[in-house]
Structure 1
Amino acid sequence: MAKFDESDPRWIVQAREDGTNVNQWHWSEKDCSEWSKQRLEQLLGDLTLLNGPATAKTTGLKSVEGDSILNIRKAKLIASYELAIKVRWQGTTAGGQHGSGLIELPYVADENHDEDPEVKVLLPTEDAASQQLKAEILAKGKEPIYAAIRTYVQELRSGVPGKPGNSSSSAAAAAAGSGSGAAAAAANGSAAAAAVPRPGSSGSGSAAAKKSSKRSVSMTEKFYARSQDIFECFTVQGRIQAFTQSAALVQPQPGGTFSWFNGNITGTFQELVPGQRLVMSWRFNSWEEGCLSKVEVELSEPEPGNTVLQLKHTGLPEADKFGHGDVQEQVEQGWRGQIFNRIRAVFGYGV
């Protein structure tokens, strides 16, 4: 036992001479401001907001103000950010008149990470065309913006800026979440061309992250579309790229592989019945290698042009490879925000 007022060296964590922060034990911070600007430019700079009869799209990021920091302690990630974002847009009314302006997101912050941000449409001039387009964007064009912000938030919170190769100069390699989100957002992780895993492949991550659990997500969604249209949103590469607004690869046959959101989501088709049923293995690249879940999609059309989709997503891990235990919540948010709502917004299959 150490004498009073003397330190026992057994309880002192000595700094390593080589400066290595073993297992991210010590508190460290990464300034993600530059990464955020480049990633938000990718996500928000070329979005389709209205797709007929009036059309509108974003035409580039005007400004990002504020701070974005990724804190790491004991291998746990804590994202701290508070941003004000402005994006340029232009469009054409159904009558052929042109308008333009700015979209402002005045407060995107970590304290509201699970909420969609406020969206304002600013007009440099009060001409009739711009006012008409402003009203339509606020009424029908906000969902692509929400989806982009969910992707950014989920990537930041899952540690994408801190991964090797994800410096500001390689932000193009990052992609959407949710798982938060997205998947979800939506969509976690960021490999630009991640290889599709094979069932039974093994990884070397934590047991908690790799362990399959009884956690699952069940959802019922309705669309104003034919069931075959919805089926093709999972099996036709062009449709997938349209609503994800990112690179996708798809081989729609039993044993065929797929990759969405630039490789954030990968898997294998197990069963396909056109217009009726899909069964797939499914994983996010924020999960440990070898960790696979199962997605079953049932489609029915009680009335022509009205499709009911029933989703059952089983075998979710207890945590992702970063130790986050909110996988079930992030997956559910990702399906709704990054996939189903995007399908409705892009193809007009319901609100």
Structure 2
Amino acid sequence: MAKWGQGDPRWIVEEREDGTNVNNWHWTERDATIWSKGKLRELLVGIAVENEAGRGTVKESGAKHKGLIEIPSLSEESEASDTEVNVSKKKGDGDTLKDLMRTTGTAKTKCSMRAWKVSLLLLLYLQHLAQCLTHKFTTGMILPTKAVATKELTVQRKLTENTLQMQASSVALGVRIPTVALHLTELFDATVEQLYSIFTVKELVQKFSKSPAVLEAEKGGKFQMFDGNITGEYVELLTNRKIIMKWRCRNWPEEHYATVALNFVPAPGQTELKLDCKGVPVCKEENMTICWQKQHFEEIKGLLQLTTENALMN
């Protein structure tokens, strides 16, 4: 160790009035509360849990139920699987829905906690990297007096804070997040031409989605469905053969898109649709699967059946 103003300045470790952590001698803490609140809101709001009994509303009786999910203690040091999740419900029946939230709902919540922890650790890593880079390019700074050192380190700290702000922004907008791939196959009682048009004709999209849609079925064209919950862009269209899209759900991390490829394969009297999706955020794969199976495949089959019945009647 060295006294102030003596020896190698890299070994100065005295307590300083300006609070500067000289040369990263000791650990420093940063408040990630605001960032965590935003991230948790992004991960938790919109989670859907449903089974044959219902989803917030009991199908058999039509009764609506509300409840709470409480996480008493949340820490980046704890494993997501060990996180305590309490489920409560207002008085009345509907215990089936409460049990659903205790099982599937709790599992989805813990999955979101795991994604939050991964994102937080990534943020902390970027902050540490910014500190290391700042230190690397300021090594050798001469600190002859407290006054001069304080002035120079204040400038250094401001530069570091600006770098951290840039790095923190990149976590939300440009850093790669953990993702998974999905592969689904479905048979439709339709020709390739009929099925292809359902994904590229605005009127047909609005019919199966039962909501207004914006559709520009050309390379680089935008689309929007289900009241803006699904948005994206057409990357490639091979008529009656293949469609590739950039695809995102509203509750995904900002500016993150998956890549969805639809391959139309003719079969005797039917068409096989092969869906390959890459880049689905971790913990969102189940919602994505339900979205395609329930909101797309089942609704499209209903539309095709109705079209066939109308044709027979005419």
Q: State TM-score, norm by structure 2.
A: 0.48
Higher CA-based Rg? 2
Higher helix share: 2
Q: Which of the pair is proportionally richer in strand?
A: 1
